[in-house]
């Protein structure tokens, strides 16, 4: 059954989870550059200072906040007393993740 | 997998999720704070070098990721790629090890 | 009199849709339309119904792509531009036309230990169950299931994993797990935990969205997950 809020919440959660899993090893390797000293890290940071990479960073923050909000939805659904507003919960998850990523985008461009 | 095994994975996934929820909120807040005016190595390392608090925080963060990512990918591999059985479990344990090694290497890198 | 254009599934799994024109009537249900086709237009049409008042759970079909109890679904509510497309329920083998084989669906209720197992005999006194106790209220929330399989047909996990017990069987197991008179709880939890049971649920809530009785099987399945966790941590699973 497609196209209802629960299905969208599931799809967003799964796709964002997979993409984050793919991103993480690269993220760790990049931070590991610190082992080779400040200069190596600054060289990497200079590489990230271009519009396309910035856009990618924003995308990853959006994925992370979406996965966080979707995960909180599942935890609430499984562990808190049952409530009817599950659609509200999915909408809230979408709203919170968008707000966080927008805050990041604003900070990014300052 | 056995009934007990599946239940254990479910518990581990929810426990790591709860831990990650806290870690990710802190991580997002730190990023939004730190990214303003651009990032420099000096700024990042100035915050983390020799700081035991961040060391503990990021170590817990990595531990939760090491548990959460493979368990989360497991049903995706099963349902979307039809990958089940022993080879899948071996791959996921290997992935956990890779994440643990790379993750702790990065944490120790920014600490010391 | 306006006509309703109804496309009805004919044949088995490899069948196809056959168009019919059905007179539009006030307060007409989808089941009324199907019955008109069978009585007036084509007596060979196979479909199932019994009570016509939403109690027996036998008339569920896929109406314009959505699983519904047809006896309590008004044409007004679901027809699009005077058109209906009526097919058998998803995820169940088609016997013929609108009739599906329900055996697998109900076998899963047995596999989920969906049968009451008590320890008292007719010579014992009645068990006292406090009507407002938490467990009794959990039973209350799930007990009105009529076994129509709308949830089962609306579940994407069932569609993908034929072994999955599905929302109805798990909901039944949850109502029994909350029955203080039942003495087979350990077996029941072992039967419903695992990747063919409650842990396969994705919490997409297709079942809860579609249940005509307003039951939330997602909530019941979440309850089973918590119960399995408690049993595991107590070393009883």
Whether the pLDDT of residue B88 is over 80: the answer is yes
Residue B15 sits at the chain C interface (C-beta within 8 Å): no
Predicted confidence at residue A36, as pLDDT, reads: 84
Predicted confidence at residue B1, as pLDDT, reads: 63
Helix ranges (H only) for C24-80 are: 30-36, 75-78
Domain boundary pick from C49, C70, C100: C100
Q: Which residue has the tokens 């009805």?
A: C8
Does the distance separating the beta carbons of C233 and B4 come in below 8 Å?
Answer: no
Give the integer Cα–Cα distance in Å for C89 and C149.
8
Domain spanning A5-108, CATH class = mainly alpha
Predicted confidence at residue B18, as pLDDT, reads: 97
Interface test with C, best of A5, A12, A14, A78 (most C CBs within 10 A): A78
Whichever domain contains C78, its CATH number is 3.10.20.30
Parallel, antiparallel, or unpaired: how do β-strands C3-10 and C83-87 relate? parallel
Q: Which pLDDT tens digits describe chain A residue by residue (110 residues)?
A: 677 889 999 999 999 999 999 999 999 999 988 778 888 889 888 888 888 998 999 999 999 999 999 999 999 999 988 877 766 777 788 888 888 888 887 777 76
Q: Which helix (H) or strand (E) holds C63?
A: strand C60-63
Q: Which residues contact A3 (CB under 8 A, 6 or more apart)?
A: none
Q: How far is B79 from chain C (nearest CA, A)?
A: 8
Kindly list the residues from chain C whose CB atom is less than 8 angstroms away from the CB atom of residue A82: 141, 216, 219, 222
Same domain, C110 and C225: yes
Q: Which residues contact C7 (CB under 8 A, 6 or more apart)?
A: C17, C18, C19, C20, C83, C84, C85, C86
Tally of structural domains, chain C: 2
pTM: 0.93
Give the integer Cα–Cα distance in Å for A55 and A51.
6
Q: B6-29, pLDDT tens digit by residue?
A: 999 999 999 999 999 999 999 999
- Using CB atoms, which residue from C67, C141, C204 is nearest to A6? C204
Q: Which tokens hold the place of C123?
A: 């010579």
Predicted confidence at residue A34, as pLDDT, reads: 77
Q: Which tokens hold the place of B45?
A: 């390392």
Q: C176-210, pLDDT tens digit by residue?
A: 999 999 999 999 999 999 999 999 999 999 999 99
Do the Cβ atoms of C17 and C9 come closer than 8 Å?
yes
Give the integer Cα–Cα distance in Å for C147 and B37.
61
Give the integer Cα–Cα distance in Å for C221 and B101.
37
Domain that holds residue C213: 103-233
Same domain, C113 and C60: no
Pick from C85, C88, C95: nearest CA to C18: C85
Domains observed in chain B: 3-111 (1.20.1300)
Q: Which residues contact C59 (CB under 8 A, 6 or more apart)?
A: C31, C47, C48, C49, C50, C52, C69, C70, C71, C148
Same domain, C22 and C66: yes
Does the distance separating the beta carbons of B24 and A38 come in below 8 Å?
Answer: no
Give the integer Cα–Cα distance in Å for B68 and A74.
14
Q: Per-domain residue ranges for chain A? A: 5-108
Residue of chain A minimizing CA distance to B33: A107
Q: Which residues contact A110 (CB under 8 A, 6 or more apart)?
A: B36, B37
Q: Residues of chain C whose C-beta is under 8 A from some C-beta in B?
A: 160-161, 190, 193-195, 197, 199-200, 225, 228-229, 231-233, 237
Predicted confidence at residue C226, as pLDDT, reads: 97
Predicted confidence at residue B73, as pLDDT, reads: 98
Same domain, C91 and C114: no
Strand partners, C99: C96
Burial of C203 (0-12, 13-18, 19+ CB in 10 A): buried
Kindly list the residues from chain B whose CB atom is less than 8 angstroms away from the CB atom of residue A34: 41, 44-45, 106, 109-110
Predicted confidence at residue A99, as pLDDT, reads: 83
Do the Cβ atoms of C62 and C52 come closer than 8 Å?
no
Does the distance separating the beta carbons of A45 and B40 come in below 8 Å?
Answer: yes
Give the integer Cα–Cα distance in Å for A27 and B109.
13
Low-confidence ranges of chain C (pLDDT < 50): none
Kindly list the residues from chain B whose CB atom is less than 8 angstroms away from the CB atom of residue A110: 36-37
For chains A and B, CB pairs below 8 A equal 95
Q: Which tokens hold the place of B108?
A: 């120790």
Q: Which tokens hold the place of A2?
A: 């497609």
Residue of chain A minimizing CA distance to C91: A1
Same domain, C145 and C59: no
């Amino acid at each position: 059954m497609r196209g209802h809020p629960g299905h969208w919440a599931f799809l967003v959660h799964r796709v964002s989870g997979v993409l984050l899993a793919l991103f993480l090893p690269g993220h760790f390797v990049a931070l590991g550059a610190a082992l080779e000293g400040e200069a190596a890290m600054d060289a990497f940071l200079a590489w990230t200072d271009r519009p396309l990479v910035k856009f990618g960073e924003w995308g990853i923050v959006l994925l992370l906040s979406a996965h966080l909000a979707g995960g909180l939805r599942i935890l609430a659904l499984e562990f808190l007393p049952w409530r009817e507003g599950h659609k509200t919960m999915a909408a809230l998850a979408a709203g919170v993740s968008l707000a966080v990523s927008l805050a990041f985008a604003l900070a990014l461009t300052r | 997998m056995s009934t007990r095994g599946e239940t254990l994975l479910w518990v581990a996934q929810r426990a790591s999720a709860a831990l990650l929820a806290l870690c990710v909120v802190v991580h997002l807040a730190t990023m939004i704070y730190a990214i303003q005016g651009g990032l420099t190595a000096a700024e990042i390392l100035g915050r983390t070098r020799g700081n035991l608090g961040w060391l503990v925080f990021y170590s817990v963060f990595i531990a939760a990721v090491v548990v959460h990512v493979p368990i989360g990918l497991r049903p995706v591999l099963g349902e979307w790629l039809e990958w089940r059985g022993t080879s899948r479990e071996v791959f996921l344990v290997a992935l956990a090890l890779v994440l643990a090694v790379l993750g702790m290497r990065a944490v120790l890198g920014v600490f010391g | 009199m306006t006509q309703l254009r109804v496309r009805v599934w004919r044949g088995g799994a490899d069948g196809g849709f056959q168009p019919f024109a059905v007179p539009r009537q006030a307060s007409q249900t989808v089941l009324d339309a199907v019955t008109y086709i069978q009585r007036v237009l084509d007596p060979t049409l196979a479909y199932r119904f019994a009570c016509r008042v939403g109690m027996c759970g036998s008339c569920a079909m896929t109406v314009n792509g959505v699983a519904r109890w047809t006896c309590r679904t008004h044409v007004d509510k679901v027809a699009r531009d005077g058109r209906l497309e009526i097919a058998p329920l998803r995820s169940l083998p088609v016997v013929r036309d609108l009739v599906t084989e329900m055996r697998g669906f109900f076998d899963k209720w047995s596999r989920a230990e969906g049968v009451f197992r008590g320890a008292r005999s007719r010579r014992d006194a009645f068990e006292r169950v406090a009507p407002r106790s938490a467990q009794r209220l959990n039973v209350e929330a799930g007990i009105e299931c009529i076994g129509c399989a709308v949830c089962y047909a609306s579940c994407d996990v069932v569609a993908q994993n034929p072994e999955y017990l599905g929302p109805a069987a798990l909901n039944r197991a949850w109502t029994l797990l909350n029955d203080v008179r039942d003495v087979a709880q350990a077996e029941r939890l072992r039967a419903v935990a695992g990747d063919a049971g409650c842990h396969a649920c994705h919490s997409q809530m297709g079942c809860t969205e579609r249940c005509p009785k307003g039951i939330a099987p997602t909530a019941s399945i979440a309850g089973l997950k918590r119960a399995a966790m408690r049993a595991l941590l107590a070393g009883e699973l």
